[in-house]
Amino acid sequence: METFRFAEPYELPSWPFTPPPELGGTAARHPIVIVGGGLSGLTLACDLAVRGIRSVLLDEDDTIGVRGASSRGICYAQKSLEIFARLGIYERIAAKGITWSFGRTFSGDEEVYSFNLRTDSVSVQPPFINLQQFYIEWFLVERILELGLTELRWKNRLTRIEPGEDGVTLEVDTPAGAYALHADYVIDATGANSPIRTQLALPARASRSTDRWCISDVRFTKPLPIERWTWVDAPFNEGRGVWQHLMGDGVWRMDYQMPEDCDTDEISQPEVAGARLREQLGPDVEFEFVWIGPYGYRDHLLERFRHGRLFFIGDAAHVVSPFGARGGNTGIQDAANLAWKLALVLGGHADASLLDSYDAERRPAAEKNLEVTSRSARFLAPRSPAEHTLRRAVVALARHHAFARGLVNTGRMSVANDYPPAPHLPEGSRTVQNVALRAADGADTTLMQLLGQGTRGLALWHAPGAGAAQAMSAALAGLPVHLVALGGTSALPTFEAGEAELAHLGLAAPDSLLLVRPDGYRAALLPAPDPDTTAEAVRTAFALNRA
C-alpha cells in the first residue's frame, strides 16, 4: 500500500490567559462585549478600535483557526477586502494570498463557459483573494493588539447570559475561576453552534443537507493553473462535482462531491483521497497532503438579528451552504455594518434607533444569500428526476448558447448585498466600490482611505462651483461627513476620478453629489444638491440626534 506524505502541520499562534480584573473584585461596566474570536467577532473588534471605541472580546480558546485543520473559509470577496483595506490589514492579505478573477466551468471533459469577475470592477481591490481563514484571523488579532483599544480575554468561556432592558450580564468561566461581566451591548459572534442562541431558545429556520463532500488540501510538485476550475459532473469523480483553486503557501483546495450514503471516515483516508487525485490528474502526479476532511452542510436563519441590547453576527445569525463563498464574507460585512452604528450611538451622535437598521439591512442580505446558495445546492445535487433533466438540458445548451451559461449554477460568487428601502435609507442602497482618487498634488488615495479617518461619511461632489461649495460647507459643519470635490475649482479638498469611476459613483453629471456611509454604502444620490437637502440627507442616513 502506498504511503502518502503529509506536510508539517501549521503552528498556530497562541496568546496568554490573563486573569481579568473582575476576578480581583473590580467591577466595571463595559460599553461593548463581543463573544467569540472568530472571523466576524475579530472584524468587529478591529473595526470598533479603528473608530476609537473600546470593547472586550471573550474567546474560550487561546488561538485562532481550528486546531488540527489547515483551513476553513478561503475565498475573500472584494467587499470584504475593501473592509480589510480600511482596517489596515489588506496589504498583508494580498501579499500572502492568491489573487484571482478568472474561472472555468466544465461538464465532463468539455469547458462549458468561463468568466472574468474583473470585467465590471472599478475597485482598487480584486474580485477575490484566496487565503486560509486562520491567516485572516491572525492578521486581525495583530492589528487589534497594535491599536490597543480592545481587551482580548483568551480562555474566557461564556456560561450564562442575562439580557436586561438597560444592559446585559454575562457569567464567564476561566482557568482562574468564574466571574460576572456587565455590558451595555453584547454581540454574539460564537458561530453556528451559538450557546447564546441555544440558551435563549431563539427560533431559527434550519435545515440540513444530505449532500456530502470531502476536502483535500494539497501541495503539488508541479503547479496547476491559478484559476478557479469547477466541474458540474466530473468524469474522474463518478459524474459528481469538483472544485479546485489555490490558496496561500502553495496549497490547493480540492473539493470532491461524494455519494450521499458515503462512509465519511472511509472517504477521508489518505489512500482513498490519493486515488481521487490520481484519477483526476494522472497516475504520476506528485503531491503531499496538508489536510483531508469530510463535510456536510446546513443552514439556519434567525428571525431577528437584534434582541434588545444583544446582536447576532456571522454564523450565530445565519448559516448558508459554502457555494459561492457567502459564509465568512457575510459575517465580515455584518461586522462592518454594525461597527459604525455602535460608534455613533456610543459617541452620543446618533439616536439608538440607528441600531435597528442593522437587522433591517443585514437580515434581508442573509435571506438573499440563503436563496442563492440553496439554488446552487439544488443544481449541484438534484433531488428529483425532473431536476436532473433540467440540469442536463442547461449544461447541454450552455455549450453552444450564451443565454444558458448564466443558468449553470456551480455557486454564484459572493457580492455585496443591496439593502431595501427603510427609514434611514429611503431609496435603499448598494455598495460603493473602493475607487482610486488622485489629489491635485498627484498623491493617490482611495475612497476607503478617506472613510478610514474616523466615523464619518463622505459627500463626493462632482465639480462644484466655489460659491456653492462655501454654502455647502457651512451647512454640513459639525455633521459626521467629509465634503470633498471630484474636479472643479472650489476650495474644497479636491480629487480627480476617471470616467469609469464617476459612472460607478453615479456622478457622471457635474454638480451631482453622492453621500457615502462609513461602511462604504450609498446613503443618497442628489442630482442637484442644495445645502439644506444635503444636510437633511446626512441626518436621516445617520439617525443623528437633533439639537
Mean pLDDT calculated for residue range 389-409: 82
Burial 201-224 (b: 16+ CB within 10 A, else e): ebebeeeebebbbbbbbbbbeeee
pLDDT in tens, 364-383: 999 999 888 888 878 887 87
Query: Does the pLDDT of residue 531 top 60, yes or no?
Result: yes
Query: Tens digits of per-residue pLDDT, 138-188?
Result: 999 999 999 999 999 999 999 999 999 999 999 999 999 999 999 999 999
Q: Are residues 287 and 304 in the same domain?
A: no
CATH of the domain at 287: 3.30.70.2450
Q: 193 and 221 share a domain? A: no
Mean pLDDT of the chain: 92
Q: Note the pLDDT of residue 412.
A: 78
Average pLDDT over residues 435-443: 87
Residues 304 and 367 in one domain: yes
Pick from 380, 415, 450: which residue ends a domain?
A: 380
The rounded distance, in Å, linking the Cα atoms of 78 and 76 is: 7
Determine, yes or no, domain membership for 11.
Answer: no
Domain count, the chain: 3
What is the CB-side half-sphere exposure of residue 50 using CA atoms within 13 A? 30
306-307 and 310-312 beta bridge pairing: antiparallel
Q: Express each pLDDT in 317-341 by its tens digit.
A: 999 888 878 889 999 999 999 999 9
Name the residue among 100, 132, 95, 136 with its Cα closest to residue 247.
132
Task: Note the pTM of the prediction, 2 decimals.
Answer: 0.95
Please give the residue that has the higher pLDDT: either 40 or 102.
Answer: 40
CATH of the domain at 536: 3.40.30.10
The DSSP-derived string for 41-86 is: HHHHHHHHHHTT--EEEEESSSBSS-TT-S-S--EEEHHHHHHHHH
- Cα 488 off chain centre by: 36
Write down the pLDDT at residue 47: 98
Q: Is 35 among the domain residues?
A: yes
**Does the residue 4 lie in any domain?**
no
Mean pLDDT to the nearest integer, 441-468: 92
The total of other beta-carbon atoms located within 10 Å of residue 175's CB is 11
- Are 358 and 272 in the same domain? no
User: Are 146 and 243 found together in one domain?
Assistant: no
Which range (1-15, 110-124, 265-279, 322-336) has the least confidence? Answer: 1-15
415/433 Cα distance (integer angstroms): 11
pLDDT of residue 67: 65
Residues whose CB is less than 8 angstroms from the CB of residue 77 and which lie 6 or more positions away in sequence, other chains included: 127, 128, 325, 329, 413, 414, 415, 416
Q: Is residue 118 part of a domain?
A: no
pLDDT digits (tens, 9 = 90+) for 256-286: 999 989 999 999 999 999 999 999 999 999 9
The pLDDT assigned to 386 comes to 85
User: Last residue of some domain: 355, 380, 405?
Assistant: 380
CA nearest neighbour of 87 among 34, 149, 25, 30? 149
- pLDDT of 54 > 70? The answer is yes
Do residue 40 and residue 158 come from a single domain?
Answer: yes
Mark whether 217 and 167 lie in a shared domain. Answer: no
Nearest in space to 359 (alpha carbons), one of 314, 406, 304: 304
Query: Do 54 and 137 lie in a common domain?
Result: yes
Q: Give the single-character DSSP code of 463.
A: S
CATH code, domain with 80: 3.50.50.60
pLDDT of 1 higher than 80? no
The answer to whether residues 134 and 65 touch, using CB atoms and an 8 Å cutoff, is yes
Average pLDDT of the segment spanning 390-416: 82
The predicted model gives 348-362 an average pLDDT of 96
Residue 120, in any domain of the structure: no
- Tell me, yes or no, whether 219 and 337 share the same domain: no
Q: Are 311 and 162 in a shared domain?
A: yes
Q: Give the alpha-carbon dihedral of 508, 509, 513, 516, to 10 degrees.
A: -10
Q: What are the backbone dihedrals phi and psi of residue 374, each rounded to the nearest 5 degrees, phi first?
A: -65, -40
Half-sphere exposure of residue 540: CA atoms within 13 angstroms, side-chain side = 18
The whole-number average pLDDT for the span 49-70 is: 88
Checking DSSP bridges between strand 457-462 and strand 513-516, what pairing results, if any? Answer: antiparallel
Of 380, 395, 416, which one is at a domain's C-terminal end?
A: 380
Domain check: are 372 and 503 in the same one?
no
State residue 2's pLDDT score. 65
- Structural domain including 138 reads 29-96+130-207+298-380
C-alpha cell at position 538: 446626512
Q: What are phi and psi of 416, to 5 degrees?
A: -70, 130
User: How much is the pLDDT for 209?
Assistant: 76
pLDDT above 90 for 92 = yes
Over residues 112-127, the mean pLDDT reads: 90
Examine residue 388 and state whether it is found in any structural domain, yes or no. no
Q: What is the pLDDT of residues 204-222, one digit of tens each?
A: 887 777 788 999 999 999 8
- Supply the pLDDT for residue 68: 56
Tell me the pLDDT band of 547, cut-offs 50, 70 and 90: low
Distance CA 80, CA 86 (A): 10
Q: Residues 433-461: what's their mean pLDDT? A: 93
Of residues 487 and 11, the one with the higher pLDDT is: 487
The answer to whether residues 54 and 196 belong to one domain is: yes
Please tell me the predicted confidence (pLDDT) of residue 301: 94
- What does the pLDDT average to over 443-461? 94
Would you say residue 340 lies in a domain? yes
Do the domain assignments include residue 239?
Answer: yes
Cell of 369: 444569500
